[in-house]
Amino acid sequence: MDLKGKVAIITGARRGMGRTHALALAKAGAKVVVADISLEDCQKVVKEIEKNKGEALAVKCDVAKKEEVEEMVKKAVEKFGKVDILVNNAGICQFKPFLDLTEEEWDRTLNINLKGYFLCAQAAAKEMVKQKSGVIINIASVAMGQVGVGIPNIVHYCASKGGVVGMTEALAVELAPYNIRVNAISPGMIETPMIDPIKKDPKVAEAMLDRVPMKRVGKPEEVSNLVLFLASDASSYMTGSTVVIDGGWLAG
């Protein structure tokens, strides 16, 4: 799973899984664009990468804004000459009952979690088409629907992640003639700031873990290992797939 000579963009890379994805791809030899809404936080991740002899670039980007997405890709090409890998990781999850959910809250979640993936994938794919090769990895969730598990109080998040899976499958077919592979990863409960609201209520946290056969929360690095596999030639015959990494949650 050697990524030497490859250029990767990771969105939502200032913390959580995005940060570990950036570190993992850099360790494998890729030149990494660390993108997120806080340039200062992105620069901290870049310093981590450079400390380990890697190459990286920090870019401020709100994935819901087309002009910022296009600027992100432009800076990647200006700095490193191309784009080989995109990890669509930026996302938000706000816990709120459906009946209390506002239109603005719905729009914000869909704009970042789904529209943002579309904008980033389109901008990156336009560069990948030029070289007739590339990999796009979309981070979805077990809360993607069609798996027999409904999760209350995050209907907008579930809708966005279901959309990500559908988009992944459609893009895989449409971009295959250009030798661009598109896959999705659906993590379960992973130790990131996103699950902090769950951890604050011991009863809710216990109930969630009871559904996981492995009886533990996953580590961001465990998801990053899968990102690395899908980004590399080790997965060269995979496209249009959604890979679940959830400690057995859905199987249970």
CA dist 1 and 198 (Å) reads: 35
Alpha carbon dihedral 50, 55, 59, 65, in 10-degree steps, equals -140
* CA dihedral over 165, 195, 24, 52, signed as positive or negative: positive
Helix (H) / strand (E) element for 180: namely strand 180-187
From residue 67, alpha-carbon distances to 70, 89, 212 in Å are 5, 18, 41
Active-site hit among 117, 157, 178, 237: 157
What single-letter DSSP state applies at residue 190? B
In angstroms, the CA 12 to CA 174 distance is 26
237 carries an active-site annotation: no
Which positions are catalytic?
Answer: 157
